[in-house]
Amino acid sequence: MDREDVAAILAEIGTMLELQGESSFRVNAYHNGARAILQMEEDLGEVVRQGRLESIPGIGATLREKITTLMTTGKLKFYDDLKAKTPPGLLDMLRIPGLGPKKVIALQEQLGIDTLEKLKTACDAGQVARIKGFGVRTQEKILEGLRFIQEIGNRVRLDQAMAVADGLVAGLRDLPGVEQIEVCGSIRRRRETVKDIDLLVSCTGDAAPIMEQFVHLPGVIQVTGQGETKSSVIVQKILSSGNKVTLNADLRVVSPRQFPFALHYFTGSKEHGIAMRVRAQRQGLKLNEYELAGESQSIEAATEADLFAALGLAWIPPELREDTGELDAAEKGTLPRLLEPEQIQGVFHNHTVYSDGGNTVEEMARAAQALGWKYLGIGDHSQSLTIANGLSPRRVRAQQREIDALNKKLKNFRIFKGTECDILPDGSLDYDDELLATFDYVVASVHTHFNQSRQEMTERIIRAVRHPLVTMLGHSTGRLLLQREGYQVDLEAVLRAAAESGCMIEINADPHRLDLDWVHCKRARNLGVLLVINPDAHSTQGLRNYWFGVSVARRGWLEPANVFNTRGPDEVAAWFAQRKAAAR
């Protein structure tokens, strides 16, 4: 097991204990232990081998014993027994927005509800509304949540799917006969959510041993097909949240000669593939997953680029393959020079122990340095968000003094003073202008009153975007992928207001959010809005999520000039100073 696996099991134990009615002290011990494990900088296996688990804050004797057992045996009887006592439907019910463990327990105890099907039946009959503490509105929200879960089906977030796919690839890469291996489909195109995993291998020789290894890889819970060139399995992984990810995974094995054509075909999208086949037909050719051929001969292609070139096109990056104009641009030579991860020089929306983060300002800065960045912005929550330990003006000044001291201490690195300032229901900001002016930059975000009407929410956000001291708008729709739909807002109007005011729009790179989506990134670029990639990091590990923001930017056709983070520290400082001067 790795660190993520152990943290996932600890978190799931905490959730199941809460569903069993255990004390909050015991429940929190497991959740806190999971967070502590995830935030470790060292290799967990090495720490266990050296007997140093007691050095990790938040890990007591009981957890040390269980973590050691998990790391050394891969199993834990306590976890298995607890799992056997917990109806799986109760964990499914926790996926519904607004349904926490206490409400799930009430539903089970008072109505015997332990599955999503029983929950829907009870809601349709009006039984849930009659439970004390629920009511008609809660019942309606549960039904909305059930519909949302039905709509999203078995999709999982990109980061979750990649974790599963990477494990499968690692188990196959070094097998004899494997020449190339690629993850195709939605993962290769970097879609926000993924329904299944498509693996492609080019092989010389007998593919049977590769297929046999594939169907016996760790995490495979069912084999749904096994053949000479294609096998299918259902694979499962426990996440650090305690939830399980279950995905279908297909493996196809082709010859090296077929590989470029298969790679293109199984990458998709369906719409892009159709457009490519139509183009081939117009040239008297036939394109499929195995070849590009004319009436008398097949066209050789050593790479995908050769395939595109044979059709008179420049190579199209997988992120652009959605049939939204990429073929026309590839023919005319006007494809964008997409943003690359190494062009990011720093990020701005990040949290520390001052609010709800898990690391100090200095720890976050040094982690950013380790990523090769030249600066980092600290944007802790503002005062009204008490649930996230938002900063009072007094605590703001204390943090700013600490940042000043660190900027003198750190070499060739700069920390920018920022805030994630709440946009209040009327569109005003959570700090007065005098305090806002002490920050280098201001991220303005909505965290409350999500049920406002579309007009109210749009006016609220536009008022904030037009505030001269607001630098960038954070997570502009408030969505949580596969958990919560965004609030109702006219994004077109918000983007136009940002273009007029010079306010940046954030691409929130937290894989739970990925907000702004790629479609609106493309629209923002066309309107001349400057975009900024922020991981919304709450730990040093979270800083690495910037990569997912780069993927969104690439899907949105963004070039380095469209993204603020590609600028160096001096240019960033000058831009901030100029904007603040204009606000006076």
Is 80 exceeded by the pLDDT of residue 36? yes
Once rounded to an integer, what is the mean pLDDT over residues 279-298?
Answer: 92
Sequence-ordered strand ranges (E) for 436-483: 441-445, 472-473
What secondary structure does DSSP assign to 309-339, as a single string?
Answer: HHTT-PPPPGGG-SSSSHHHHHHHT------
**Do residue 122 and residue 193 come from a single domain?**
no
Q: How confident is residue 469, by pLDDT bands cut at 50, 70 and 90?
A: very high
Rounded CA separation 415/479 (Å): 29
For residue 10, the Cα-to-chain-centroid distance in whole angstroms is 21
Rounded CA separation 59/550 (Å): 35
Question: Where is the domain boundary, 152, 169, 202?
Answer: 152
The first and second tokens of residue 248, run together, are 């279908």
* Residue 270 phi, psi dihedral angles, 5° rounding: -55, -45
Is 70 exceeded by the pLDDT of residue 153? no
CATH number assigned to the domain comprising residue 203:
3.30.460.10
Residue-number span of the structural domain to which 37 is assigned: 3-152
Q: How confident is residue 91, by pLDDT bands cut at 50, 70 and 90?
A: confident
Alpha-carbon distances, residue 263 vs 167, 189, 289, 301 (angstroms): 20, 12, 8, 12
CA torsion 479→485→486→488, rounded to 10°? 180
- What 3-state DSSP class applies to 3? helix
Half-sphere exposure of 486 (CA within 13 A, CB side): 19
Rounded CA separation 414/435 (Å): 21
Please state whether beta strands 504-508 and 531-534 pair in parallel, antiparallel, or not at all (unpaired): parallel
Q: How confident is residue 1, by pLDDT bands cut at 50, 70 and 90?
A: low
Is 80 exceeded by the pLDDT of residue 511? yes
The first and second tokens of residue 573, run together, are 């400082």
**Do residue 279 and residue 293 come from a single domain?**
yes
Reported pTM: 0.81
Rounded CA separation 47/529 (Å): 47
CATH number assigned to the domain comprising residue 575:
3.20.20.140
**Do residue 472 and residue 500 come from a single domain?**
yes
**Do residue 373 and residue 500 come from a single domain?**
yes
pLDDT score, position 43: 79
CATH number assigned to the domain comprising residue 329:
3.30.210.10
- What 3-state DSSP class applies to 559? coil
pLDDT score, position 47: 87
**Do residue 525 and residue 386 come from a single domain?**
yes
Rounded CA separation 563/339 (Å): 8
Alpha-carbon distances, residue 8 vs 12, 14, 242 (angstroms): 6, 10, 5
**Do residue 325 and residue 221 come from a single domain?**
no
Cross-strand pairs, 251: 199, 231
Alpha-carbon distances, residue 199 vs 45, 394, 552 (angstroms): 29, 54, 22
Sequence-ordered strand ranges (E) for 342-413: 375-381
Rounded CA separation 259/38 (Å): 38
Mean pLDDT is lowest, of 115-119, 141-145, 418-422, for 141-145
Question: Where is the domain boundary, 200, 231, 256?
Answer: 256
Within 8 A by CB and 6+ apart from 526, the residues are none
Please tell me which residue, 20 or 267, carries the higher pLDDT value: 267
Alpha-carbon distances, residue 189 vs 83, 248, 444 (angstroms): 36, 18, 30
The first and second tokens of residue 517, run together, are 């989506």
Rounded CA separation 418/379 (Å): 5
Q: What count of residues does the chain have?
A: 584
Q: How confident is residue 151, by pLDDT bands cut at 50, 70 and 90?
A: low
Alpha-carbon distances, residue 376 vs 286, 349, 398 (angstroms): 51, 9, 18
Is 80 exceeded by the pLDDT of residue 21? yes
- The DSSP letter of residue 299 is P
Rounded CA separation 25/21 (Å): 11
**Do residue 148 and residue 170 come from a single domain?**
no
Contact 557, 524 (CB under 8 A): no
**Do residue 241 and residue 274 come from a single domain?**
no
Contact 510, 545 (CB under 8 A): yes
pLDDT digits (tens, 9 = 90+) for 361-387: 999 999 999 999 999 999 999 999 998
Contact 431, 421 (CB under 8 A): yes
pLDDT score, position 88: 82
Is 80 exceeded by the pLDDT of residue 301? yes
**Do residue 201 and residue 317 come from a single domain?**
no
Tell me the average pLDDT of the chain.
93
Question: Where is the domain boundary, 334, 360, 383?
Answer: 334
**Do residue 144 and residue 159 come from a single domain?**
no
Rounded CA separation 37/454 (Å): 41
Rounded CA separation 104/94 (Å): 7
Residue 517, by phi and psi: left (phi above 0), alpha (psi -120 to 50) or beta? beta
Alpha-carbon distances, residue 19 vs 64, 107, 489 (angstroms): 23, 11, 36
- Counting the structural domains of the chain, the total is 4
Within 8 A by CB and 6+ apart from 499, the residues are 524, 527, 528, 529
Is 90 exceeded by the pLDDT of residue 7? no
Is 90 exceeded by the pLDDT of residue 543? yes
Once rounded to an integer, what is the mean pLDDT over residues 219-242?
Answer: 85
**Do residue 299 and residue 369 come from a single domain?**
no
- State the residue for tokens 């041993």: 209
Cross-strand pairs, 381: 420
For residue 570, the Cα-to-chain-centroid distance in whole angstroms is 30
Within 8 A by CB and 6+ apart from 107, the residues are 93, 113, 119, 122, 128, 131
Is 90 exceeded by the pLDDT of residue 568? yes
**Do residue 178 and residue 128 come from a single domain?**
no
Q: How confident is residue 34, by pLDDT bands cut at 50, 70 and 90?
A: confident
What secondary structure does DSSP assign to 144-166, as a single string?
Answer: HHHHHHHHHTT-EEHHHHHHHHH
Rounded CA separation 555/533 (Å): 13
Instruction: Give which of 336, 276, 282 is closest to 308, Cα–Cα.
Output: 276
414-432: b (≥16 Cβ within 10 Å) or e: bbbbbbbbbbbeebebbbe
